[in-house]
Amino acid sequence: MENKFYQQQGDEYIVKRQLTVPITVLLFFISLGVYFFIDGTKHDKIPYYVFTFIPVGIYLYELGRTARINVVNKTVSENWFGVKLSTYNFNSFARFILIKKTVNLINAGHGVSMGFKTAGKEEKVVAFTTLKNKAIAEEFLAETQQLMK
């Protein structure tokens, strides 16, 4: 089976991602932080480079986060730079979640997630990816359902 949205590594399928924009933004904020560190500029005794920590942290988290489907163990796991954060069994799968994302009333894509039932009433969500439009997101969901069979 040809995978349009997943890359196979052994028994696991990893979501393919475009990393150009997050890496560019991360490098921008890191270079801005280095510039402010060398310059020594301060605002109310707080160095400006401190203000770059939050965007750098957010983009590092986004760069390292991946969702993996293991077809042999029948599990879905959420990883951060290869470290498993959470693992859920196919049996606890509840639903697919498709979210339309907008920024100032402009379409920013569709987020695709999976919801899993837990022992409590709370549903745990694993975010997979954000895609350009709904038709592509539905193709992604069809491929994901095919892998989960």
Per-residue pLDDT tens for 88-128?
999 999 999 999 999 898 988 899 999 999 887 788 999 99
Question: Smallest Cα–Cα separation from 26: which of 48, 64, 57?
Answer: 57
Phi, psi dihedrals of residue 62, rounded to the nearest 5°: -65, -35
Rounded to two decimals, the pTM is 0.79
Rounded to a whole number of angstroms, the CA Rg of the chain reads: 19
User: Does the structure show a pLDDT above 90 at 48?
Assistant: no
Give burial (CB, 10 Å; 0-12/13-18/19+) of 82: exposed
**What was the pLDDT predicted at 1?**
58
Region 7-22 average pLDDT: 89
With beta carbons less than 8 A apart as the criterion, state whether 109 and 131 touch: yes
What's the mean pLDDT when you consider all of the chain? 90
User: Does the structure show a pLDDT above 80 at 3?
Assistant: no
